[in-house]
């Protein structure tokens, strides 16, 4: 069932708390807040959590209204910032937005309509536009279309794979679902994927086919600037759920992480190390027949890496 705009959504009594973690986001936070205030379904409250920014957000000339508040804390990472926002939230639903992203105008309306029509659903997410800093790619990413616009009960590897495709700024979740489960503060990255896996494995979800968010892919973000940290955290998450997703799925997931690790390093001995590990975990080509998150096919990357290695060996000064 495709969710469309409906006048009945305006009569919903469900309230939404919006949580925006922010760290040194003085150049983008106003835009993020503005995209919330422009929603066709108004937020009950906007909670901005300043995670120890060098310039406190309270010192900035932000156009804040009565339903917007700023909580400041010592720097502890995005997980602790979101967890503080969850503890302070009073809405029936909690929606997440990052300080450098922005929502479409009907982002909340589309999510609330799902919760009104499907009381059993605990989490909604959707597809999103990918915006690389300085270069708008126009790509749409997120859950595969075959799994959208329907209620889903996911288990095992299917829940794991789906959670990896969810972008946090598209997520809306019932506050009651977060009474026990929170973001894991021991994970520097992949903390959101970890939480969505836990939620998906125990409750129903609904994935919206319509793009809900413009996600900014910043080269200085933790998941892009520190490939070692990001991959180590993802390996930890895979190990954590290995008994639930099964041996074959684990081998595939380990293989993908090491492959991305090799791509992220981009060359040299360590890149070869992780490419070899990727092949050892999953030597069959079927899992790498198409690009994943803008990484080249594994075979193409092997050829490219071989070419660079040979050039570095025979033409060291070029």
Spell out the domains of the chain, with CATH numbers in brackets: 7-221 (3.90.550.10), 246-314 (no CATH)
Q: Are 110 and 41 in contact (CB under 8 A)?
A: no
pLDDT at residue 1 in the model:
45
Which segments in the chain show pLDDT lower than 70? 1-11, 132-138, 218-225, 286-296, 313-318
pTM above 0.75, yes or no: yes
Which residues are registered as beta bridge partners of 207? 125
What's the CA gap between 257 and 278, in Å, rounded? 8
pLDDT at residue 136 in the model:
47
Using alpha carbons, select from 184, 169, 194 the residue that is nearest to residue 79. Answer: 184
pLDDT at residue 266 in the model:
85
What's the CA gap between 33 and 19, in Å, rounded? 10
pLDDT at residue 317 in the model:
57
pLDDT at residue 109 in the model:
97
What's the CA gap between 257 and 254, in Å, rounded? 5
């Amino acid at each position: 069932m495709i969710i469309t705009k409906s006048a009945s959504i305006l009569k919903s009594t469900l309230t939404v708390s919006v949580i925006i973690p922010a760290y040194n986001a003085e150049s983008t936070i106003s835009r993020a807040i503005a995209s919330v205030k422009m929603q066709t379904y108004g937020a009950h409250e906007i909670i901005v959590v300043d995670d120890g920014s060098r310039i406190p957000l309270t010192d900035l000339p932000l156009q804040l209204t009565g339903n917007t508040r700023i909580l400041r804390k010592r720097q502890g990472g995005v997980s602790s910032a979101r967890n503080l926002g969850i503890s302070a939230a009073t809405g029936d639903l909690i929606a997440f937005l990052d300080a450098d992203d922005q929502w479409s105008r009907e982002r909340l309306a589309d999510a609330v309509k799902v919760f009104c029509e499907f009381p059993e659903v605990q989490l909604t997410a959707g597809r999103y536009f990918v915006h690389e800093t300085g270069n708008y790619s126009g790509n749409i990413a997120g859950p595969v279309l075959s799994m959208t616009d329907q209620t889903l009960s996911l288990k095992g590897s299917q829940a794991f794979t789906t959670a990896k495709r969810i972008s946090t700024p598209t997520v809306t979740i019932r506050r009651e679902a977060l009474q026990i489960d929170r973001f894991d503060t021991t994970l520097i990255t992949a903390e959101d994927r970890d939480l969505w896996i836990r939620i998906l494995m125990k409750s129903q979800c609904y994935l919206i086919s319509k793009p809900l968010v413009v996600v900014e892919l910043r080269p200085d973000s933790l998941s892009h600037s520190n490939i070692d940290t990001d991959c180590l955290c993802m390996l930890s998450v895979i190990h954590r759920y290995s008994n639930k997703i099964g041996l074959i799925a684990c081998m595939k997931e380990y293989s993908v992480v090491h492959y991305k690790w090799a791509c992220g390093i981009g060359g040299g001995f360590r890149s070869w190390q992780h490419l070899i590990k990727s092949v050892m975990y999953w030597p069959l080509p079927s899992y790498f027949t198409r690009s994943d998150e803008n990484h080249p096919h594994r075979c193409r990357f092997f050829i490219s890496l071989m070419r660079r290695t040979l050039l570095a060996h025979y033409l060291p000064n070029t």
